[in-house]
Amino acid sequence: MECNAKIATSSKTNFYMEFHSACFEGSVKTLPNNDWKQSAEPNITWPVWKPTREPLANIRPIVMEEGYLEKQHVLIMLKSTEGDEPYGG
C-alpha cells in the first residue's frame, strides 16, 4: 500500500504520520516518508510512503473486541521530522 499526504509547502522536510485513538496504549508513529511527488500547482508537494518490507506502522489496539473497535475513531496527524510541527489533525 502506498500512502500520500497532500500539503502546501515548498519545503522538502520529511514527515511522519502519528496515529491517536482511545483504543491504543499511546500514539503510534510511522517512519519518515521515503519519497516525494510534485504537483503541477506551485508550492504543493506530496510526501509519499512507498511500500517496503516493513509495515507502515504497527497499530495494535489494547482491546480486541470487535464491537468496541467498530465504535472507535483514529486521529491521523502529519508532522514534520524537524521539530514535530503538526500539519493537520
pTM score of the predicted model: 0.77
Bigger pLDDT: 37 or 3?
37
Contact between 13 and 82 under an 8 Å Cβ cutoff? The reply is yes
Domain limits, the chain: 3-80
Cβ 83 vs Cβ 43: under 8 Å? no
Q: Residue 70's pLDDT is what? A: 92
3 versus 62: the higher-pLDDT residue is: 62
